Amino acid sequence: MKLLDYLKAEKVAVSEFAARVGEAENTIRKIVYGQRQPSLPLAIKISQATGGKTAPSDLLVEQGRAA
């Protein structure tokens, strides 16, 4: 599940989720909208924070899409 879909389904704000994983809101926002690919440790942290609903592989940015 994409992180954006998770946040919408769970009605969680980006700012709230960023606080939950201990990252800057801007960093999480860029990951949510596919503008940035997280490091592997951050991808794992995000996956754990979603209870496994968003897998690290769901956070990969397609080549050529990253800003």
For residues 66 and 10, the model is more confident at: 10
pLDDT in tens, 30-65: 999 999 999 999 999 999 999 999 999 999 987 665
For residues 65 and 13, the model is more confident at: 13
**In degrees rounded to 5, what are phi and psi of residue 32?**
-55, -45
What does the alpha-carbon distance between residue 51 and residue 34 come to, in Å, rounded to a whole number?
21
Query: Which own/partner pairs from 34-38 qualify as long-range (CB within 8 Å, at least 24 positions apart)?
Result: 34/61, 34/62, 34/65, 34/66, 35/61, 35/66, 35/67, 36/61, 36/66, 36/67, 37/61, 37/66
